[in-house]
Amino acid sequence: MNDIFEQVRQTIAQVQQEQPNNTQELEAYRIQYLGSKSTIKSLMEGMREVPNERKKEFGQLVNSLKQQAEEKYQTLKAAFDAQAEAASAVQLDLTRTPEPASLGARHPVSITMNRIIRIFEKIGFVVADGPEVEHDWYNFTAMNTPEDHPARDMQDTFYVVDAPGLLLRTHTSNVQARVMTSRKPPIRIIAPGRVFRNETISARSHAQFHQIEGLYIDEGVSFADMKQTLYFFAQEMFGATKIRLRPSFFPFTEPSAEMDVWLGTETEETRRLTKGTGWLEILGCGMVDPQVLENCGIDSTQYSGFAFGMGIERQALRLFNIPDIRFLFENDVRFLSQFSQVIA
């Protein structure tokens, strides 16, 4: 009977003498005293043999053993862990040249957009901005596309259910109305931004894309000014030697045109891009309809101007030889990181 008390006292003395010198020895110590088959466990099971009046005494003694064993373990473990950490820190070579930090890449749409902006900035255009969630009036009505006008069918969009009259803009032309209603001519702006259409998504089209709008209003601005400005752009952007203006229709310009640039038919790529014609369609343009000027509070007898708008994605696909427009919106890093070396 006294035996088991004696065994506990001896084990306490033993624990106090234990001196594990490293993590392996500490682990052996843990298994011996604290593990599931440890000395202490089996001593605790001895409780059964202890008569009731001494159970309390025995319990306290075993607890004290357990506590001492546990504390010793925790203290040594903390010390060994700290040693290990210090040792690995010493191995750090602080003189080594660091790995280059990996920088993000600009999105191909941003790269393309920036190139276009830079070209127009050279000839005095400044960047203007407008909202993506827009009032019907700026997107359509001011731009000479009143409700029930058939031209609205060409640009179906997403409407804000709880706010009648609010929609996702279908083109950057809303910025024309925004600028004309808030500034006085001369106006010479380009407006890049995201636009939306209610369209089925495919390899060639998407429900969201980007455009750049241009607007130039002053006294005596003519069709010839427009042509020369766009020709300059075509030269800078495509190295094109020729442009072609084809008659077209937009509600907000009169006359309206579509511009093609001459890429030629010499390479397989230009033949593919131009469907064998040598001409690549780039943008819509025209003289701002006097009614649009009046809608926006500009005297159409004093001022005239031209405007143009073009999609950016198609240029980005062409510039970087990207086969599917959806790559531009999936944000897959394996795709996007390929542009980290491109100067934006």
**CB nearer to ligand DAH: pick between 212 and 317:** 212
Q: Which residue of the chain is nearest ligand DAH when measured via CB?
A: 309
Is residue 173 near ligand DAH by the rule CB under 6 A? yes
**CB nearer to ligand DAH: pick between 15 and 280:** 280
**CB nearer to ligand DAH: pick between 26 and 259:** 259
> Which residues inside 205-224 make contact with ligand DAH, applying CB under 6 A?
213
Is residue 171 near ligand DAH by the rule CB under 6 A? yes
Instruction: Determine which residue in the list 307, 317, 325, 328 makes contact with ligand DAH, applying CB under 6 A.
Output: 307
Q: How far apart are CA 229 and CA 281, in angstroms?
A: 17
**CB nearer to ligand DAH: pick between 46 and 255:** 255
Cα angle 17-73-61, degrees, rounded to a multiple of 5: 65
**CB nearer to ligand DAH: pick between 173 and 295:** 173
Q: Segment contacting ligand DAH (CB under 6 A): 42-50, 67-75, 113-121, 279-287? A: 279-287
Contact between 331 and 109 under an 8 Å Cβ cutoff? The reply is no
Cβ-based burial of 181 (10 A; exposed 0-12, middle 13-18, buried ≥19): middle
Sign of CA dihedral 194, 199, 200, 202: negative
38 in helix, strand or coil?
coil
Is residue 193 near ligand DAH by the rule CB under 6 A? no
Q: Segment contacting ligand DAH (CB under 6 A): 97-105, 127-135, 260-268, 305-313? A: 305-313
Own/partner pairs, 226-233, CB within 8 angstroms, 24+ separation: 226/285, 226/286, 226/287, 226/306, 226/308, 229/123, 229/306, 230/259, 230/283, 230/285, 230/308, 232/119, 232/123, 233/116, 233/119, 233/120
> Which residues inside 81-140 make contact with ligand DAH, applying CB under 6 A?
none
Q: In whole angstroms, how close is the CB of 213 to ligand DAH at the nearest point? A: 5
**CB nearer to ligand DAH: pick between 11 and 112:** 112
Is residue 260 near ligand DAH by the rule CB under 6 A? no
Is residue 58 near ligand DAH by the rule CB under 6 A? no
Is residue 285 near ligand DAH by the rule CB under 6 A? yes
Is residue 313 near ligand DAH by the rule CB under 6 A? no
Angstrom CA distances, 268 to 204, 234, 242, 342, stand at: 20, 21, 19, 24
For residue 317, give every residue at least 6 positions away whose Cβ sits within 8 Å of its Cβ, in sequence order, or none. Answer: 323, 325, 328
Contact residues: ligand DAH, CB under 6 A? 171, 173, 213, 250, 253, 284-286, 307-309
